[in-house]
Amino acid sequence: MDAIPLALDGYLAAEGEPGDEDGTASWRLTCSAGTDHLVEEAVIPCTTTKPEIAHAILTERQPGDLLRVIGTLTLPDSADGVIRLHTESVEVLWEAPFLDSDEDRHGPATATATDTDRNSAIAALAEALTSFAQGPPEPGGSVRIHISPTGALGAGLEHCHSFDVTPALAHRLADYVDAMKCFTGSDRPSGVDLDRQTIADLTELFDEVDLIDLTNAVLNATRPEHRPAVTQAMDDMFGDVPSPEDTDP
């Protein structure tokens, strides 16, 4: 079967292993994002015959590193065959924190309540982003979002995810984040306080506003057929206001 050119992002699932010949290596890549040929959360076996890539995989990379692997994907001729990605280049997108020897001496750390909360939050965010990223492709490049736990990822690769979204969706996501940060008084620059005289002047100005006069002025300047909608809008903003029939003609 013909080989398929493919660029794939994923996390190194385990330490690489040397191949049968010098200058070769094999490893497994955990991929969270689907492509035209791969299903989500697939583990893809990778191989290389390039000595520089084999050396880097065997001596410099560790489980949890996020890699971009470019090569050709060979599909099996039979149902029980194994697909392999024959690698031509590897780019390191993110390096996992270095694993110290404490785990080797004391065994793997048990999950804590904090870990459970964190992993639950990652799962909820991944589900939301998966739905957010769905939709027909748009022209232009896409934006890739990676989420994963902090710290060593050797035993936590199932909590790593990658998503591709269009620039338009990325802008929408940024707007949602900005909206979450809004709060009363958030438009005031941090560390800037109005002087007392300015506050007194503003208070006096708004105290002098007569809502009835303001309502009458607005409704008298409004066409009759539009007055009910305007009255409702002013009710929503200021509370109950006089109805159109109570205003001067």
pLDDT in tens, 184-220: 455 555 555 667 777 777 778 777 777 778 778 888 8
The tokens for 10 are 């994923």
Domain boundaries, given as residue ranges, for the chain: 4-180, 196-246
Closest Cα to residue 165, out of 136, 122, 201, 205?
136
pLDDT of residue 233 exceeding 60: yes
Tokens of 100: 């110290």
Q: Which among 119, 122, 162 has a CA at the least distance from the CA of 142?
A: 162
Beta strands in the chain (DSSP E): 4-12, 17-18, 25-31, 42-48, 66-74, 84-94, 143-147, 161-165
Strand partners, 44: 29
Give the CATH fold of the 4-180 domain. Answer: OB fold (Dihydrolipoamide Acetyltransferase, E2P) (2.40.50)
Backbone Cα Rg of the chain: 30
Report yes or no on whether pTM surpasses 0.85.
Answer: no
What pLDDT sits at residue 242? 53
pLDDT in tens, 49-71: 999 999 999 999 988 888 999 99
| Amino acid letter, 109 | A
Q: How far apart are the C-alpha atoms of 217 and 30, rounded to whole Å?
A: 67
